[in-house]
């Protein structure tokens, strides 16, 4: 019965599981949300949608599906064989058009032809809903732009008149702002970063070590001997170097997500920024990047070999910036970036490069190819999957790094 509605929701990219669908069914069989369509809307949203970011999409599908179906709904959902469009189009009466418009309709090949186009357009729109394209009518885009119709003239899908009530909640689309269509939530990143965890007891002993206490107490013939130990904590140390500015601006969002995920996941995280490629200095504060910099050699000295090095950058630049002394776009670098990268690799053999550019492009950009080679193929796309691969790679140290091309 309602399965069609279910399919439509799923087609619009709303994840609905069987559990949730059954919950809706069970609720309705117990009389929840069956009073009228408003209640049904509220209950369906309650049971099916688990993220306010999806409310808007749900509203769209709901209104697309149910507009003009109120009678059908009143017959209690049983007789829903005809999906929307035909019913929908019936609300569109020829009488609502002016003579002039009718003439235009004729010019477009007659009423039926027009309806056909409309029906087709509607179908396309359902499919493209993830893109956030607005559906005809309330969104303000007329499907017949070149036909010259005023969208007010043929308002589709607004059941206001028919039900003698103000615009429905799902037609107001008040949750539009919440639909960020963000796929890369911090959660996904955090889950990936978790794999990097290495739990170790470190720091202040503040929890009771029961086993040792019992053993020692028994050894002392029952005289209580309390032993404490430190709480298990994530002992992994991470050094994060992020490219900023220039071509990286396009990837600012995803980098931010990674950064915030990393910051909550690791207690020992040090972040430094660079521009395009790594040279003799980096900085920690972007506002004061020109006055407060950290020399890269200091980085090499200060952090131990057990640090995991993650470099984030699109590696998209002129190859000179990597290979040639003085190649940097910002300043005169005495030594080429490639050499600095190698030094870093030597100091922190557990290293990877994450690239926000998608993998297909890597081969087309010489500088990415070069960096990929320099990293001994330890470059991964900055996506959840790429992250998984990167984490696996981080477990194995890099080998065979030589600095012998220093003079080349």
Partner 1 sequence: MSTYITTDDLQLAIDAALTLERPLLIKGEPGTGKTELAIEVARRMGAPLHSWHIKSTTRAQQGLYEYDAVSRLRDSQLGDDKVANIGNYIVKGVLWDAFESEQRAVVLIDEIDKADIEFPNDLLQELDKMSFEVYETRQSISAIKRPLVIITSNNEKELPDAFLRRCFFHYIAFPDRPTMQRIVESHYPEIKHDLLKAAMDVFFDLREVPGLKKKPSTSELLDWLKLLIADDLPAEALGATDIRTVLPRMHGALLKNEQDIHLFERVIFLHKQQNRR
Give the binding site for partner 1 (CB under 8 A).
15, 17, 19-20, 23, 26-27, 30, 32-33, 38-39, 42-43, 46-47, 49-52, 55, 174-175, 185-187, 190-191, 194, 208, 210, 213, 217, 222-224, 226
Nearer to partner 1, 186 or 371 (CB): 186
Least distance to partner 1, CB of residue 74, Å = 19
**What's the min distance (Å) between Cβ of 192 and partner 1?**
12
CB 257 to partner 1: min, Å: 11
Q: Which is nearer to partner 1, 82 or 163 (CB)?
A: 163
Q: Is 287 exposed, middle or buried (0-12, 13-18, 19+ CB in 10 A)?
A: exposed
How far is the C-alpha of 143 from the C-alpha of 147, rounded, in Å? Answer: 9
Give 108 or 200: the residue with its C-beta nearer to partner 1: 200
Instruction: List all residues 6 or more positions away from 200 whose beta carbon is below 8 Å from its beta carbon.
Output: 232, 233, 235
Q: How far is the CB of 226 from partner 1 (least distance, A)?
A: 8
Which residues fall within 8 angstroms of residue 212, CB to CB, at 6 or more apart? 227, 229
Q: What is the residue whose two structure tokens read 């477990």? A: 395
Least separation, in Å, of the C-beta of 9 and partner 1? 15
CA terminus-to-terminus distance, the chain: 74
The residue among 107 and 223 lying less far from partner 1, judged by its C-beta, is 223
CB 227 within 8 A of CB 216: yes
Closer residue to partner 1 (CB): 24 or 317: 24
Smallest distance, Å, CB 359 to partner 1? 26
Question: How near is the Cβ of 268 to partner 1 at its closest, in Å?
Answer: 17
Sorted by sequence, the CB contacts under 8 Å of residue 196 that are 6+ apart come out as 236, 238, 266, 308, 391, 394
31 contacts: CB under 8 Å, gap ≥ 6: none
Residue 224 Cβ vs partner 1, minimum distance, rounded to whole Å: 5
H or E element, residue 185: none
Contact (Cβ atoms closer than 8 angstroms) between residue 379 and residue 405:
no
- Report the SS3 class of residue 403: coil
- Name which of 266 and 279 has its Cβ closer to partner 1: 266
- Closest approach, Cβ 20 to partner 1, in A, equals 6
Q: Which is nearer to partner 1, 33 or 143 (CB)?
A: 33
CB 386 within 8 A of CB 344: no
**Residue among 34 and 126 whose Cβ is closer to partner 1:** 34
**In the block, which residue shows the tokens 């993998």?**
359
**Of 117 and 217, CB closest to partner 1:** 217
CA distance to 166, 209, 220, 232, per residue, from 225 (Å) = 75, 11, 8, 22
Edge-to-edge order in the sheet of strand 268-274: 293-295, 281-283, 268-274, 237-243, 308-312, 351-355, 379-381
Bridge partner residues of 311 (DSSP): 241, 353
């Amino acid at each position: 019965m309602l399965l069609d509605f279910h399919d439509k929701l799923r087609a619009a990219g709303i994840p609905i599981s069987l559990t949730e669908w059954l919950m809706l069914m069970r609720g309705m069989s117990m009389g929840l949300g069956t009073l009228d369509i408003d209640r049904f809307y509220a209950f369906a949203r309650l049971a099916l949608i688990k993220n306010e970011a999806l409310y808007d999409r749900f509203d769209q599908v709901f209104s697309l599906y149910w507009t003009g179906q109120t009678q059908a709904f009143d017959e209690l959902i049983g007789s829903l064989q005809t999906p929307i469009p035909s019913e929908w189009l019936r609300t569109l009466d020829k009488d609502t058009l002016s003579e002039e418009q009718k003439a235009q309709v004729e010019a477009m090949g007659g009423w039926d032809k027009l309806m056909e186009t409309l029906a087709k357009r509607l179908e396309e729109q359902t499919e493209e809903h993830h893109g956030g394209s607005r559906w005809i009518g309330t969104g303000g885009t007329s499907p017949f732009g070149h036909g010259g119709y005023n969208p007010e003239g043929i308002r589709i899908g607004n059941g206001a008149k028919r039900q003698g009530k103000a615009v429905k909640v799902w037609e107001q689309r008040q949750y539009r702002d919440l639909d960020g269509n963000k796929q890369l939530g911090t959660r996904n990143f955090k889950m990936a970063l978790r794999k990097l965890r290495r739990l170790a007891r470190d720091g202040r002993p503040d929890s009771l070590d029961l086993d040792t206490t019992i053993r020692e107490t028994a050894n002392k013939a029952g005289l209580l001997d309390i032993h404490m130990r430190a709480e298990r904590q994530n002992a992994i140390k991470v050094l994060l170097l992020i490219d900023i500015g220039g071509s990286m601006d396009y990837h600012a969002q995803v980098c931010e997500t990674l950064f915030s995920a990393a910051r909550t996941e690791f207690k020992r995280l040090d972040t430094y920024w660079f521009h395009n490629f790594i040279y003799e200095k980096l900085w920690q504060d972007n506002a004061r990047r020109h006055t407060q910099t950290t020399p890269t050699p200091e980085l090499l000295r200060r952090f131990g070999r057990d640090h995991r090095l993650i470099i984030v950058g699109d590696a998209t630049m002129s190859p000179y910036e990597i290979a040639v002394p003085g190649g940097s776009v910002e300043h005169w670098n005495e030594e080429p970036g490639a050499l600095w990268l190698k030094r870093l690799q030597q100091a922190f053999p557990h290293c990877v490069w994450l690239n926000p550019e998608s993998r297909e492009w890597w081969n087309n950009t010489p500088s990415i190819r070069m960096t990929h080679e320099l990293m001994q193929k330890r470059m991964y796309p900055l996506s959840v999957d790429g992250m998984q691969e990167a984490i696996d790679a981080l477990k194995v140290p890099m080998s065979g790094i030589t600095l012998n091309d220093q003079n080349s």
